[in-house]
Amino acid sequence: MIPEVVAAGPVRLRPFLADDADDLAAGCGDPENLRFNPGMPRPYTVADARWWITEGAPAARAAGGVAYAVADAGTDRLVGGAGLSHVVPGRDQAEVGYWVAPWARRRGIATAVTRALAETAFRAGLVRLELLTHAENPASQRVALAAGFRHEGVRRAAGRSRDGGRHDLLAWVRLGDDPDGPTPRVLPDLPDGRLTDGVVTLRRLAPDDVEPLHRLHTLPEVVANRVPQVAPTRAAIERRCRVAESHWLVGASADFAVLDAATGTVAGGCALVYDEPATGQAMVGFSLLPEWRGRGFAGGLLRLLAGWAFDDVGLARLWAGTRPDNVGAQRSLERAGFHREGLMRGRLPGPDGSRVDSVLYALPAPGRR
């Protein structure tokens, strides 16, 4: 039996009250909440809030789930909503959902609510909970990790867009016998949000990096080293910047903007792709805008990236591949301590159905060479 009221640290989960209508309308009508909840009425009015209080929330419980108001433990003011939906009795599973009002964010409420809701669901007999997030919503992904959920994969076309289209959702899952506490991260956040040697700075790629990144990846010499050798569209670069944090959180890759430490100007990009977790290996790639080449930036960024990969991530080996004629990249790798290990014949797809060789460079972690 799912209880009527649940304590959750700074808040409590309780039934919606008639007096919640104004705050419910303001919270659900917030642009950030509407952005990732396309099914909400737009605009979300007080009349919509009253309907939810009197009909919507009771219907959720009647269907086997629950819709809670999230209220401040001290004042009882509404600060959000949470619940269990899409209950599948035969599988003992349900979907977790929540939202937080703008006046109550950055207080750890979402994590506290999700943890309490999970514990309540498990006590009620459920054994599997799903939390579905948009790839462009890293805040919810961080909540999932903090609440002990693990990334399980992608639900293709599981989300409905406002225009009637479909989009993928990331599936985060917690089982009743999973350990308490945050889920360990494969790729940790950068210390203080960046790495720097005073000349070069690395930080996570961000949505505002579209212009320099698009310029970089449409340069002919950079396109020649892409797989496939096709210039990306601006839309593709925009999405790459928007989902960079998500890829980092799920442990797939760490995508960096390379900055001039003195001015903060974007000088290029680099990435660590965690392609072999079982063997503790990852691939690195990098490129610089023309005006920043020949200034030691490539060697600097590689040393920063390697230090973080070995010391913070705990990798055992980094590797990189270059085209045989990309002498500049090879010299940068060598200056950063990478050693040439061989030639992989026909490794990469080339233009017109051909195959292109790749020169393999590697750098083992200190003490493992």
225 contacts: CB under 8 Å, gap ≥ 6 = 287, 322, 323, 326, 329
Low-confidence ranges of the chain (pLDDT < 70): 368-369
The pLDDT of residue 368 is: 64
pLDDT digits 0-9 by tens, 236-274:
999 999 999 999 999 999 999 999 999 999 999 999 999
HEC string of the chain equals CCCCCEEECCEEEECCCHHHHHHHHHHHCCHHHHHCCCCCCCCCCHHHHHHHHHHHHHHHHHCCCEEEEEEECCCCCEEEEEEEEEEEHHHCEEEEEEEECHHHCCCCHHHHHHHHHHHHHHHCCCCEEEEEECCCCHHHHHHHHHCCCEEEEEEEEEEECCCCCEEEEEEEEEECCCCCCCCCCCCCCCHHHEEECCCEEEEECCHHHHHHHHHHHCCHHHHCCCCCCCCCCHHHHHHHHHHHHHHHHHCCEEEEEEEECCCCCEEEEEEEEEEEHHHCEEEEEEEECHHHCCCCHHHHHHHHHHHHHHHHHCCCEEEEEECCCCHHHHHHHHHCCCEEEEEEEEEEECHHHCEEEEEEEEEECCCCC
Q: Do residues 8 and 116 touch, judged by C-beta distance below 8 A? A: yes
* Residue 361 token pair: 């460079």
CA distance 201 to 208: 16
The pLDDT of residue 147 is: 97
Q: How many CB atoms neighbour CB 16 within 10 A?
A: 22
* Residue 127 token pair: 């054994």
Q: Which residue has the tokens 């020649």?
A: 224
Q: Do residues 293 and 313 touch, judged by C-beta distance below 8 A? A: no
The pLDDT of residue 321 is: 94
Length of the chain: 369
Chain Cα centroid distance, residue 274: 15
pTM, full prediction: 0.92
The pLDDT of residue 348 is: 83
The pLDDT of residue 151 is: 97
The pLDDT of residue 369 is: 58
Q: Which long-range contacts (CB under 8 A, 24 or more apart) does 178-184 make?
A: 178/148, 178/150, 179/148, 180/148, 181/148, 182/145, 182/146, 182/147, 182/148, 183/144, 183/145, 183/146, 183/148, 183/149, 183/150
